[in-house]
Amino acid sequence: MIVYPAIDISKGKIVRLLRGDFSKKKIYKNDLIEQVNIFESNGADHIHVVDLDGALAGKNINEVSINKIIKNTECKVQLGGGIRTLNDIEKWIDIGVHRVIIGTSAITDESLVRNAVKAFPKKISVGLDLYKEHVAIKGWTKVIKEKKADYYFKKFSDLEVESIIYTDISNDGVLQGPNFKSILKYKEMVNVPLIASGGVSSIEDIKKLYSFKVHGVIVGKAIYDNKVKINEIFNIK
């Protein structure tokens, strides 16, 4: 299982939100590269990066900061937030992003995912952010109620994306533990690797996800609030 330390960027700084609420944004670090170096020196080989401002705006906002991360780490970077077109995807892959996450546009334009998977094999992940069994898009500001999330998990699994990143919005940033029941449900539903996100609060949570044999877990607030020891989380067995 891969542990992905999270770097959520807003206005060039590392921040965390509470259940996706931008009005409850907390700044943790001004120096992105210092944090990247901390992750890497403690054993990380992957980093999960999100352009939060880009997710809201529908276009990349923190390009300078993201470029700086890519150029200053040996870690494989998976990137999401504001990626809406094939040109966006190609640009980031050319710059050095290991895997691109399509979120909002995967829901509003399913053909983008189909075309992206063909054009960039093994480089495309889909992010499904759920609020009460429904997918939320546009920086979690709009909930899609026409179809339940099950439809999208099956759809993108059938399209053979490289992975699906499942975030439980209600658990995100609150340090109350992941939604283990739903994680297990969606893991068994899809035929592609599942990465779990939202709610990790302890090393025990990570070990439990390891026992579920999920492909990966994203850890953010638990790191920044010192709920887990960073030198332990990358060697879970």
Section 208-216 average pLDDT: 96
pLDDT score, position 11: 95
Helices 203-211 and 180-189 cross at an angle (nearest 10°) of 30
Residue 227 is which amino acid? Answer: K
Residue predicted with more confidence, 211 or 24: 211
Domain 2-235, second-level architecture: Alpha-Beta Barrel (3.20)
Query: Distance between CA 61 and CA 82 in Å, rounded?
Result: 8
pLDDT score, position 171: 77
What percent of the chain is modeled with pLDDT above 90? 83
**25 confidence band (pLDDT: 50, 70, 90):** confident
Query: What are the residues whose beta carbons fall under 8 Å from the beta carbon of 195, sequence distance 6 or more?
Result: 2, 4, 125, 163, 164, 165, 166, 214, 215, 216, 217, 218
Helices 110-119 and 86-95 cross at an angle (nearest 10°) of 40
pLDDT score, position 9: 97
For 201, which DSSP code?
-
Q: What is the DSSP string of 161-194?
A: -SEEEEEEGGGTTS-S---HHHHHHHHHH-SS-E
Query: pTM here?
Result: 0.95
The closest of 68, 73, 173, 80 to 126, measured between CA atoms, is 80
Q: Is the pLDDT of residue 21 over 80?
A: no
Could you read off the pLDDT of 154-165 as tens digits, one per residue? 999 999 999 999
**Mean pLDDT computed over every residue of the chain:** 94
- The helix/strand/coil state of 234 is helix
**Catalytic residues, which ones?**
8, 129
Cα 86–87–88 angle (5° rounding)?
90
Cα 193–22–32 angle (5° rounding)?
65
